[in-house]
Amino acid sequence: MLSALDSLDRKILRELIQDARISHLALSERVGLSATACARRVLQMEKTGIIKGYAANIDVNALGFPLTVIVHITLDRQNEDALARFETEIHKCPDVISCHLMSGADDYQVQVLACGMEDYERIHKQHLSRLPGVARLQSSFAMRTVVKRSISPAALIMIRPAGTQRRGK
* CA distances from residue 33 to 36, 128, 153 in whole angstroms, order as listed: 8, 49, 21
End-to-end C-alpha distance for the chain, whole angstroms: 17
Query: Digits of tens for pLDDT over the chain (169 positions)?
Result: 445 788 899 899 989 988 899 999 999 999 999 999 999 999 999 999 999 999 888 899 999 999 999 999 999 999 999 999 999 999 999 999 999 999 999 999 999 999 999 999 999 999 999 999 999 999 999 999 898 888 887 777 776 544 455 444 4
Residues 105/108/109/112 CA torsion (nearest 10 deg): -140
Distance in angstroms (rounded) separating the CA atoms of residues 4 and 48: 11
The DSSP line for 134-152 is: EEEEEEEEES------SS-
Q: Please state whether the predicted TM-score (pTM) of the whole model is above 0.85.
A: no
Show the DSSP H helices in 7-162 as ranges: 7-18, 24-31, 35-47, 80-90, 117-126, 153-158
What does the alpha-carbon distance between residue 140 and residue 162 come to, in Å, rounded to a whole number?
42
Cα–Cα distances in angstroms (integers) from residue 12 to residues 48, 56, 60, in the given order: 15, 18, 28
